[in-house]
Amino acid sequence: MLKRILSALFKGRAVDVPNTDQIQEGTARGVTVGDLAAGGTRVLLCRVDGALHAIDSLCPHEGGRLETGDLVEGRLARCPLHGYLFDPRNGAVKRGACAGAKTYRVAEQGSTATFWIG
């Protein structure tokens, strides 16, 4: 029911991710949606201040892929290509000079999270 209401509000395709309760504070897990070579998307689910946040792993600088695992200072996603840092809560660049990264709405219920792409 909640998922149906949120889908109507947020629009786009809902992607369910199981076992998100295992994503520890200050870490990120990557989720690939579709085939990356054919227009798919890779999203990082990051836990910051207890909440999950979804950020596109495609770095807006020059197309690197943001890292999974430990977040820098427990709250920032890092691109390994040039070391730029992004806030997964809103996509803002915290170190570097480029546009912010794309973020997605995410809701977590029990051990399953849903984010909306589209």
- Shortest distance, position 101 Cβ to ligand FES, whole Å: 9
Q: Where are the beta strands (DSSP E) in 1-118?
A: 13-17, 27-33, 41-48, 51-56, 69-70, 77-78, 85-86, 93-95, 103-104, 106-109, 112-117
Q: Which of 34, 35, 31 is nearest to 44 (CA)?
A: 31
DSSP, collapsed to helix, strand or coil, labels residue 6 as helix
Q: Which is nearer to ligand FES, 79 or 106 (CB)?
A: 79
Q: Which is nearer to ligand FES, 23 or 98 (CB)?
A: 98
- Shortest distance, position 70 Cβ to ligand FES, whole Å: 18
Residues that bind ligand FES (CB under 6 A): 59, 61-64, 79, 81-82, 84, 96
Q: Which is nearer to ligand FES, 39 or 63 (CB)?
A: 63
